[in-house]
Chain A
Amino acid sequence: MIAAITDWVKSPAGQFTLFTAVKIFAAFSIMMTMVAYVVLVERRVCAFIQDRIGPNRVGPFGLLQPAADGIKSFLKEEFTPAHVRKIYFILAPAIALMPAILNLAVIPFGSQIGHQPMVLANLNVGILYTFGMVSLGVYSIVLAGYAANSKYPFLGGIRSSAQMISYEISMGLSVIPIFMLVGSLNLNDVIGYQAQGLFSWLVFKQPLAFAIFLGAAFAETNRTPFDLPEAEQELAGGYNIEYSSIKFALFFMGEYANMILASAMMVTLFFGGWTLPWFGLDQPAATLTGGVAHIAIFLAKVFMFLLAFIWVRWMWPRFRYDQLMDLGWRRFLPLALANIVVTAVILWMRS
């Protein structure tokens, strides 16, 4: 029995399973820690922008605040209103966190450590998988709005589903020129394409695609200036107002997990992923230090984007609903289409 297990561990299948399990565990814990700490960063940054200090009491510099928040949200009364549609009501928060976590599977968060590639699943249809999962995100909000069975969450859900579906189209179309340039849907190939110096980064080759993707990412993650689904002033909170305790926290975590994933996608697609064009950091790492450095570079880039997400929220007002739809359908969509055509023409002329 024990011999069989050791054999299996030494076999390629066993090695693959074990290393993938370790990677999943590590990536998942890092992601959840990031979710917790992005909330803290958001609170501190918004406080600083508003001339306040922010949470600084729990632990040194308030660093244990996420733990306190977590304990609080678990210990609060979990109240299910009598009028809700029970199954959907429970299902919606469960779905909220899922797309972001599933998307983590295809993000290359480093080159390699030893001979292990730092990506959970090196899919050759990476981006299609990503968009498939992203479109699942709308279900949690629609279900939450529908399950609450009262009008304000319902309005929030309706608004949100319209918004997310609209921007998903622009988002999907905006990345097509990238794959026309790269010639592959695999995210590792996208990073490989960007490893030829700073100006091979796709943000410089496809600035319009990046601009559209950035705007659509803000809309998809329900962040300001597109945070209509949770507009406190108009909708008394939006789709999540009937939720309490950990169910509410799950929506909250879902928002931040989506933010992290959107940032990771932007880093991968437009900012060279784990590469840096200097010090030979653009090639897969040969040493352990190099592998860790690549992960650190990736996380640093993601953090820059998260900071941008947070900063924008405390800087700009919210779009009006008609402006939102106008931007999505009449600006982003034609621009994304034009971008595809122009890229195609240029590629055709070059060949």
Chain B
Amino acid sequence: MIVKRKPLNFWERLYLPAILDGFRVTVRHFFKRKVTMQYPEEKWAVPPDYRGAPYLVRDQEGNTKCVSCQLCEFVCPPKAIRIIPPGPAGQLADRPNAEKMPAEFEINMLRCIFCGFCQEVCPEEAIFLLKDYSLTGTSREEMIYNKEKLLELGGTHGGIEKWKHKLAEAKEQENFPVKV
């Protein structure tokens, strides 16, 4: 298809109206409010379901939620997670309804791809992708976050209290009148 060009009229050929138009636009933008965010000082509001760095969370009583099942370690595509289970003679879990908790839990933040598989696969809701998006360090070792660091950064998760509900359900079932 050939689009016929309209011949320019006298004013258009002078280019002066176009020049003035351009000047008007640039002057308007010159005095407009600027959109730049002064980044390290100002930061954008991270939405609540943002998938940032994965951290371990504690429940509302301050207990470690992770039970060292190693599903996240298994599912992690870049193999960023390394869990050392407590072993047969290891430390017991610090909460009821759990057999164990990890002796060590490391996430290599240089390898992590923020896919969220660990959060998805976790049966205990112990690991979440929180809102940290800018992780920095001066060495590779520094970027491997250990259990203490992950728990500290993760904080308390005020979400579903799975075992509290299970306990309530179990208690209900104990009192449930058995009908024949």
- List residues of A whose CB falls within 8 A of some B CB: 45, 47-53, 311, 314-316
Contacts and interface: CB of A to CB of B under 8 A. Distances in A.
A45 B32 CA distance: 13
A311 B26 contact: yes
Given A50-B29, A52-B36, A53-B36, 17 more contacts: A47-B36, A48-B29, A48-B30, A48-B34, A49-B26, A51-B29, A51-B32, A51-B33, A52-B35, A53-B34, A53-B38, A311-B23, A311-B26, A314-B26, A315-B23, A315-B26, A316-B22
B19 interface: yes
Interface residues of A, dominant DSSP: loop
Nearest to A53: B36
Contact of A51 (B19, B22, B23, B35): B35
Interface in B18-43: 19, 22-23, 25-26, 29-30, 32-36, 38
Nearest to A56: B38
Question: Taking each of B22, B25, B26, B33, which has the highest tally of chain A beta carbons within 10 Å of its own beta carbon?
Answer: B26
12 contacts: A45-B30, A48-B29, A48-B30, A50-B29, A51-B33, A51-B34, A51-B35, A52-B34, A52-B36, A314-B26, A315-B26, A316-B19
A53 B33 CA distance: 10
Interface string B89-129: 00000000000000000000000000000000000000000
B30 A49 contact: yes
Q: What are the 7 tightest A-B residue pairs by CB atom distance, in nearest-first order? A: A53-B36, A315-B22, A315-B26, A49-B26, A48-B30, A51-B35, A52-B36
Contacts of B29: 48-51
B109 to A, nearest CB: 27
Contacts of B23: 311, 315
Contacts of B38: 53
A52 B23 CA distance: 18
Contacts of B22: 315-316
Contacts of A53: 34, 36, 38
Contacts of A52: 34-36
A53 B35 CA distance: 8
Contacts of A311: 23, 26
A59 to B, nearest CB: 16
A334 to B, nearest CB: 16
A49 B19 CA distance: 15
Contacts of B26: 49, 311, 314-315
A45 B22 CA distance: 15
A320 B38 CA distance: 38
Contacts of A47: 36
B88 to A, nearest CB: 57
